[in-house]
Structure 1
Amino acid sequence: MKEVDTSSNLNSRIKLFADWLNNGGVKTIWSNHLLEDLIKVKFRADGTVDESTVSSVVRAALLAYEGTQWSQPHSSIELMTEYQTTLQKALIFEQVMIDTKEDFDSIYEENKNSKSTLYRGVSEAKWRIYSSLQRYWINEKLYESGADYKTFIEKTISNAKKQNAGVLEKFFKKNGISPDNDIAVLSFLQHYGCPTPLVDWSNSFKNALYFATENVNEYKDDSREIDKYFSIYHIEEKDLISTSLVSLVEKGISEMEKHVKDNVIQNGQSEGIEQTEMEKFFGRDRLKMATKMLHQNDLIKFVTKIERLITFPLTYFSDINEENDIQFSLNNSMNIINQEGVFIWNSDPFKPIEQVGNEQFGNKEDVIYRFSKCYNINKKLSDYVKDKIRQEGINSEFIYPDPNLIAKNSFDETKASC
Structure 2
Amino acid sequence: MTTLPTYETFDEKSKHFNLVKVETIDDYNKIVETQKKLNGIYRGINTSKYKIYTSLQRQIITKDLQGKFCIEDYLHNFRQNKILQKYFDTLKFETSKLSIYSYLQHYGAPTPFLDFTINFEKALYFAIENFDETSYVEQGLIDDYFSIFFINQTDFDLIEIPEVIRSLKDFKRLSGDFFSRYEDYTHQHLVSHVDNTFTINTCKVFLISHYEEFIDIYNTYNNIRIVAQEGLFIHNDYLDKPLEEALKDFFKEATIFVGSGLDEIDDPQIIADNEKYIEDLEKNRGFQQRLEKNIITSFEIKKSLIGEIRKSFTLQKGDIYPDPEKLCWQTFEDSLPK
TM-score, normalised with respect to structure 2: 0.75
> What does 1:137-286 align with in structure 2 at a 5 Å threshold?
137-143=60-66, 146-148=67-69, 151=70, 153-163=71-81, 166-179=82-95, 181-216=96-131, 219-224=136-141, 226-251=142-167
Asked if the contact 1:209–1:385 (Cα under 8 Å) also holds between the matched residues in 2, the reply is: no
- C-alpha offsets along residues 7-50 of structure 1, whole Å, 9 cap, x if unaligned? xxxxxxxxxxxxxxxxxxxxxxxxxxxxxxxxxxxxxxxxxxxx
Rate the CA distance shift 1:309–1:293 in 2: closer, same or farther, 3 A. Answer: closer
Contact 2:215-2:221 at 8 Å conserved across structures: no
Contact 1:121/1:233 (<8 A) preserved: yes
Contact 1:310 1:347 in 2 (8 A): no
Q: Say how many residue pairs are matched.
A: 290
Identical aligned pairs, as a percentage? 29
Residue type of the alignment partner of 1:171: Y
Gaps of 5+ in 2: 178-189, 256-284
Assess, with a 3 A threshold, how the Cα gap between structure 1 residues 303 and 292 changes in structure 2: closer, same or farther.
Answer: closer
TM-score in terms of structure 1 length: 0.62
- TM-superposed CA distance for 1:106, in Å, is 1.5
Give the direction of change, closer, same or farther, for the CA distance of 1:171–1:229 in structure 2 (3 Å limit). Answer: same
Q: 1:388 to 1:157 in 2, by over 3 A?
A: farther
Residue 95 (structure 1) shift: 0.8
C-alpha contact (below 8 Å) 2:20/2:298 kept by paired residues: yes
Residue 40 of structure 2 corresponds to 117
Task: Work out whether 1:377 is the aligned partner of 2:301.
Answer: yes
> Displacement of 1:196 after TM fit?
0.8
Report how far residue 366 of structure 1 moved: 7.6
Read off the aligned partner of 1:199 and give its amino acid letter: L
State the shift of 1:147 in Å: 1.2
Larger-Rg structure: 1
Partner of 2:59, secondary structure, is helix
- The runs of 5 or more residues in structure 1 that have no matched partner are 1-76, 254-290
* Counterpart residue identity of residue 237, structure 2: S
Return the letter of the residue paired with 1:105: N
Cα distance change of structure 1 residues 174 and 397 upon mapping to structure 2, 3 Å threshold: same
Q: Which residue in 2 is equivalent to 1:360?
A: 250
Aligned to 1:88: 12
C-alpha change, 1:93 and 1:214, in structure 2 (3 Å) is: same
> Once superposed, what is the RMSD of the aligned Cα atoms?
3.1
Give the whole-Å Cα distance in 2 for the aligned partners of 1:305 and 1:233: 32
Name the residue aligned to 1:36.
Answer: none
Alpha-carbon deviation of 1:242? 4.1
For residues 276-320 of structure 1, the C-alpha deviation after alignment (integer angstroms, 9 at most, x for no partner) is xxxxxxxxxxxxxxx58945989987564598279722111121x
**Residue 117 of structure 1 aligns to which amino acid in structure 2?**
G
Q: Note if contact 1:314-1:357 (Cα within 8 Å) is conserved in structure 2.
A: yes
Residue 208 of structure 2: aligned partner: 317
SS of residue in 2 equivalent to 1:142: coil
